[in-house]
Amino acid sequence: MPRVTEVVDAGENPTLKRLFDTDRNTYGDLLNPTKVMAHCPPILEAAKHLSASIAESGLLPKALHALVHARVAAINGCPF
């Protein structure tokens, strides 16, 4: 059971609608961090921008992105 309730309905919030649509189109469903950070749409949007910036920086080879995400999840005790 999650400690923080998950937001799965964007309601009338245009920012959440856009970000939720992006997650669903990219991953097939909402990612758990998206559902938790959706309580504060500005923070969710900033986190998505930060993640995209890291990915687009080219400092981490694309082949390692999923591996890094899985390792960070494991360190934090979260299923990936």
pLDDT of residue 63: 87
What is the number of alpha carbons within 13 Å of residue 12 lying toward its C-beta? 0
Helix, coil or strand: residue 11: coil
- Contacts of residue 78, defined as CB under 8 A and 6 or more positions apart, other chains included, come to 32
pLDDT of residue 74: 92
What's the pLDDT tens digit per position in 18-62?
999 999 999 999 998 999 999 999 999 999 999 899 888 989 888
Q: How far is CA 76 from CA 8, 69, 79, in A?
A: 23, 11, 9
